[in-house]
Structure 1
Amino acid sequence: MRFLKFFLLAVLATWQGYSQSEDEQQIKAIYNTALTNSESYDWLNYLSNQIGGRLSGSLQAQQAVEYAKLQLDSMGLDRVWLQPVMVPKWVRGTPEFAYVETAPGITTDLPICALGGSVATPLQGIKANIVEVNGIEELKLLGPGKISGKIVFFNKPMNPTELNTFKSYSGCVDQRYAGAKEAAKFGAVGVIVRSMNLRLDDYPHTGAMDYGDTEIPNRIPAAAISTKGAEFLSATLKLSPKANFYFKQNCKVYKDVESYNVIGEIKGSEYPDEVMVVGGHLDSWDLGDGSHDDGAGCVQSMDVLRLLKETGYQPKRTIRVVLFMNEENGLRGGKKYAETAKNKNEKHVFALESDSGGFTPRGFSFDCSEANFEQVNRWKSLFEPYLVHLFVKGHSGADIGPLKDDGIVLAGLRPDSQRYFDHHHSENDTFKHVNKRELELGTAAMASLVYLFDKYGTVQTP
């Protein structure tokens, strides 16, 4: 019996060694192909420089849909299709203008941009005293007596001591998203919000805002001010507390329009009914060209399927690339995809999203069971040679979030985040700030994780 036990252990060890070696070879082939024969950078070049910013409902968003479908069609996938989805249509209009006035006729221009979804100012603009607050809680402490008839300046900065810059972002983004709604309750006539940016520069950063149940006549215009502009304005208010602020913006909300998620798939050879998703969001804001947010995630996801084909790997499970529409100001694409999957009784077992920029990959975050996280950690040594072995539990991705249930593993690519908010939602998010090699390393890391989950499956617990 003891001999048999040792024999079986020896066989198992040999098999595990073979399997490990096989996985190492496949992942090396993925990396070698990604770094020598990638399409992602060229695809991103076209999306960014030939199409540009892809705001939901815009002509550029539709051009991006058509281009992405054309590229997926050329890859020889088993199926490529467009999934219709109704999306909001908000238009920025002519460039915004703002200044602070410390005395009659003494003004300093400041860089601002309208927040996505904001109403316009009156045609002549808005001019009023301005009151500075350090976030929504301070606004509530001041109350209507000090807010009514004034412009509220939300000046809570991102916390520079947080090494995870996304955590820093989440700690103050409520003032952008809900600041106008809250300020209107106290009679404010407008809102100016410090840009979500750790760097001091002159780029105002837009982003989604929401009025909640505020009635349309009571909605007030909201704009972002650059970080340098915010510092200047704050210093000015300390010297001249009664200073006026003027701003003018011409944005407008239209009726919803039809757009599309772009989807392509390789059918699984053994478990075709088990679906794995890899994706990013095709829409972007309109100030830059959306290279990091999230053109990079889209082209990486497309290239994952191409890399698997190029390296001769035949997936066991059905692998889909999904380019979601309208993550930035509605998440309509992600919700539509999940709704359709549920209605069709599709079994999704894994989903991976890249929506943190095209910077050097550091690892992945996982929203999954402990059993699946233990399995992932057993693969860590396979990623260590590529310095992509930071595996943590946490947020995966906004677009794949609606797929969440007890049986699915959700994952998000985690690149180095230190430079991401220099570009996020601003004119500074452009193709020239994407490094080709960093982008390709991210693609390879994603393809490697998809390969492992396809080969070994997920751990199904009762």
Structure 2
Amino acid sequence: MRKLLWVLVFPVSGAFAQDSAIIRRMADDILTNGQAYNNLRILCKQAPARLSGSANAAKAVALTEAMLREAGADTVYLQPCMVPHWERGAKEEAYAVTGNGRVSLAVCALGNSVGTPATGLTASVVEVRSFDELDKLGKKGLSGRIVFLNYPMNQTLVNTFSAYSDAVRYRVMGPSAAAKYGAVGFILRTLSTSLNDFPHTGTTRYDSTMPKIPAFAVSTNDAERLHVLVAKGAVKSIFMKASCRMLPDAPSYNVIGEIRGSEHPDEVVTVGGHLDSWDLAEGAQDDGAGIVQSIEVIRALKAQGIRPARTVRAVMFMNEENGGRGGKAYSDNAVADGLQYIFGLESDNGGFTPRGFSIGAKGAQLKAFTDWAPLFEPYGVYEWRVGGGGADVDPLVRAKAVVGELLPDSQRYFDFHHAGNDVFEAVNRRELLLGAVNMTALIYLVSKYGI
């Protein structure tokens, strides 16, 4: 559990006064000349739907490699990794059969789902709200049926990522939990805090000891509608059809751009996001925003003529969404290459207004961050949490790095997460650049002082 770290903030003075002035110059440059928004447009429009193993993921590798060179990185290179390759295939179909005809449902297959038979799948439906209800129904209540798992995200949790953490188990483990009792299909209420018509995908993981059954998400609006119909006993059956399939692992790459350290080049400070995205839209909030913010860190340091004392790397991690292979490849290399990995910062919570940072540190290491806290107040960051980093930098703990992540405002993130409306136009330029300002400031400080 993350604990909120309350920090008394005083005016910047003494040792950090010069840093305050440097950060001010970098912030002014990013807010007026920053390229993150333009880069996001290019990434989203030229390489949308960047699911690992796809042609668009390969195109995104080439695009971001060019962006890092344009940003002024001293060295840009590709780090190989083998990644899962799942294809959605034709657009999914689903409808409820009632006494009055068919009720169409807005659905999408969950990531890594198997497909249905070519002619589709038809079965009666049972609605449950939890794994406990699944267990109580058992084989007698579930065998041969489609499970509709209708678990709304908890609206009382103000931090929407807490609500997501609570609900995501049903997406990840739900299909196999239903298959355990003989269910033939699975439909999940979309993980979103909003009521809308967009189904949200996301990875599911099959238990190898259970049959693999087709797994869909249904939009929150249609989940509400289906709930009413099921409660009335109006649904005779559900039809679902999908042609998705899993292919052999494919070769891909992390994209890395670095500025070599002037005093401690063997000490590495990492900043990054994940280059892959789900395939329903453009992957703008998740995680094009984190990608272009990380590239902007390189551009901003170079634009101010700052030669960091420690090596700064911007890493575009591949395959965060359905495997985490890029983060593992980077951390494996970090453990083996003999360099000292100081810090890993990730941006994977959307391009919204920055509110704070989560830091996986304690004691003297944590104090370094709290000492810097006053430098961030002018740019809207007041919150420092004891926690950790994102999925791609957390493995760097194996290399004894401190990890962290940017914490933007969370209220709108799950309107777009893994959905068809996660497009470039949903990102606000000002918010995106403010995130880049705070990321650049933190990377600058760590690269100068260490931890």
Q: TM-score, normalised by structure 1?
A: 0.93
Could you tell me which of 19, 23, 37 is aligned with 2:15?
Answer: 19
Could you tell me which of 346, 351, 354 is aligned with 1:353?
Answer: 346
Q: Secondary structure at the match of 1:49?
A: helix
Give the deviation of 1:345 after TM superposition: 2.2
In the alignment, what sits opposite 1:102? 98
- Supply the distance in 1 between the matched residues of 2:209 and 2:91 (Cα, whole angstroms): 26
Q: One-letter code of the match for 2:24?
A: K
In the alignment, what sits opposite 2:175? 180
Give the deviation of 1:416 after TM superposition: 0.3
Contact conserved, 2:331 with 2:399, CA < 8 A, in 1?
A: no
Give the deviation of 1:454 after TM superposition: 1.4
Give the deviation of 1:346 after TM superposition: 2.2
1:309-328 aligned within 5 A:
309-328=302-321
Q: Secondary structure at the match of 1:99?
A: strand
- Supply the distance in 2 between the matched residues of 1:20 and 1:58 (Cα, whole angstroms): 46
- Supply the distance in 2 between the matched residues of 1:404 and 1:241 (Cα, whole angstroms): 53
In the alignment, what sits opposite 1:245? 238
- Supply the distance in 1 between the matched residues of 2:257 and 2:89 (Cα, whole angstroms): 35
Q: One-letter code of the match for 1:136?
A: F
In the alignment, what sits opposite 1:51? 47
Q: Deviations over 1:96-132 (max 9, x none)?
A: 11111122x6111010000010000011111111111
Give the deviation of 1:241 after TM superposition: 6.0
Contact conserved, 2:379 with 2:437, CA < 8 A, in 1?
A: no
1:76-91 aligned within 5 A:
76-91=72-87
Unpaired runs of 5+ residues, structure 2, are 1-11
Query: Aligned pair in 2 of structure 1 residues 137, 406: CA closer, same or farther (>3 Å)?
Result: farther
In the alignment, what sits opposite 2:376? 383
Q: One-letter code of the match for 2:437?
A: A
- Supply the distance in 2 between the matched residues of 1:23 and 1:62 (Cα, whole angstroms): 39
- Supply the distance in 2 between the matched residues of 1:407 and 1:106 (Cα, whole angstroms): 60
In the alignment, what sits opposite 1:214? 209
Give the RMSD, CA atoms, in angstroms: 1.3
Contact conserved, 1:368 with 1:408, CA < 8 A, in 2?
A: no
Give the deviation of 1:384 after TM superposition: 1.2
Q: Deviations over 1:210-252 (max 9, x none)?
A: 102235xx21000000000100000101111653111101101
Q: Deviations over 1:140-191 (max 9, x none)?
A: 1221110111000111110011011001001011111111111111000000
In the alignment, what sits opposite 1:191? 186
In the alignment, what sits opposite 2:9? none
- Supply the distance in 1 between the matched residues of 2:53 and 2:400 (Cα, whole angstroms): 34
- Supply the distance in 2 between the matched residues of 1:22 and 1:108 (Cα, whole angstroms): 64
Q: One-letter code of the match for 1:362?
A: R
Contact conserved, 1:135 with 1:172, CA < 8 A, in 2?
A: no
Could you tell me which of 264, 268, 275 is aligned with 1:271?
Answer: 264
Query: Aligned pair in 2 of structure 1 residues 83, 406: CA closer, same or farther (>3 Å)?
Result: closer
Give the deviation of 1:371 after TM superposition: 2.1
Instruction: Name the larger-Rg structure.
Output: 1
In the alignment, what sits opposite 1:446? 439
Structure 1 stretch 382-391 or stretch 443-452: which is displaced more? Answer: 382-391
Contact conserved, 2:331 with 2:398, CA < 8 A, in 1?
A: no
Q: Secondary structure at the match of 2:208?
A: coil
Q: Deviations over 1:286-315 (max 9, x none)?
A: 101000000000000011011011112110
Q: Secondary structure at the match of 1:253?
A: strand
Q: One-letter code of the match for 2:313?
A: R
In the alignment, what sits opposite 1:232? 225
Contact conserved, 2:97 with 2:235, CA < 8 A, in 1?
A: no
- Supply the distance in 2 between the matched residues of 1:447 and 1:257 (Cα, whole angstroms): 33
Query: Aligned pair in 2 of structure 1 residues 411, 235: CA closer, same or farther (>3 Å)?
Result: same
Q: Deviations over 1:373-421 (max 9, x none)?
A: 2221121111112221211111310001111148421110000010000
Could you tell me which of 65, 71, 83 is aligned with 1:69?
Answer: 65
Give the deviation of 1:77 after TM superposition: 2.0
Query: Does residue 1:93 correspond to 2:86, yes or no?
Result: no
Contact conserved, 2:335 with 2:399, CA < 8 A, in 1?
A: no
Could you tell me which of 149, 155, 158 is aligned with 1:163?
Answer: 158
Give the deviation of 1:84 after TM superposition: 0.8
In the alignment, what sits opposite 2:278? 285
Q: One-letter code of the match for 1:19?
A: A
Q: Secondary structure at the match of 1:74?
A: helix
Could you tell me which of 120, 124, 143 is aligned with 1:125?
Answer: 120
Query: Aligned pair in 2 of structure 1 residues 335, 383: CA closer, same or farther (>3 Å)?
Result: same
In the alignment, what sits opposite 1:135? 130
Contact conserved, 1:192 with 1:224, CA < 8 A, in 2?
A: yes
Contact conserved, 1:91 with 1:251, CA < 8 A, in 2?
A: yes
Contact conserved, 1:98 with 1:109, CA < 8 A, in 2?
A: yes
In the alignment, what sits opposite 1:9? none
Q: One-letter code of the match for 2:128?
A: V
In the alignment, what sits opposite 2:393? 400
Q: One-letter code of the match for 2:45?
A: N
Contact conserved, 2:328 with 2:392, CA < 8 A, in 1?
A: yes
Q: One-letter code of the match for 1:224?
A: A
1:290-305 aligned within 5 A:
290-305=283-298
Q: Secondary structure at the match of 2:71?
A: coil
Structure 1 stretch 360-369 or stretch 234-243: which is displaced more? Answer: 234-243
Q: One-letter code of the match for 2:202?
A: G
Q: One-letter code of the match for 2:223?
A: A
Q: One-letter code of the match for 1:369?
A: K
- Supply the distance in 1 between the matched residues of 2:83 and 2:379 (Cα, whole angstroms): 39
Query: Aligned pair in 2 of structure 1 residues 328, 406: CA closer, same or farther (>3 Å)?
Result: closer
Q: Secondary structure at the match of 1:243?
A: strand
Q: Deviations over 1:300-354 (max 9, x none)?
A: 0011011011112110000000100000000000001111121212210101000
Query: Does residue 1:203 correspond to 2:198, yes or no?
Result: yes
Q: One-letter code of the match for 1:110?
A: L
In the alignment, what sits opposite 1:7? none
- Supply the distance in 2 between the matched residues of 1:36 and 1:366 (Cα, whole angstroms): 29
Contact conserved, 1:111 with 1:204, CA < 8 A, in 2?
A: yes
Query: Aligned pair in 2 of structure 1 residues 247, 364: CA closer, same or farther (>3 Å)?
Result: same
Query: Aligned pair in 2 of structure 1 residues 370, 138: CA closer, same or farther (>3 Å)?
Result: farther
- Supply the distance in 1 between the matched residues of 2:226 and 2:70 (Cα, whole angstroms): 52
Q: TM-score, normalised by structure 2?
A: 0.95
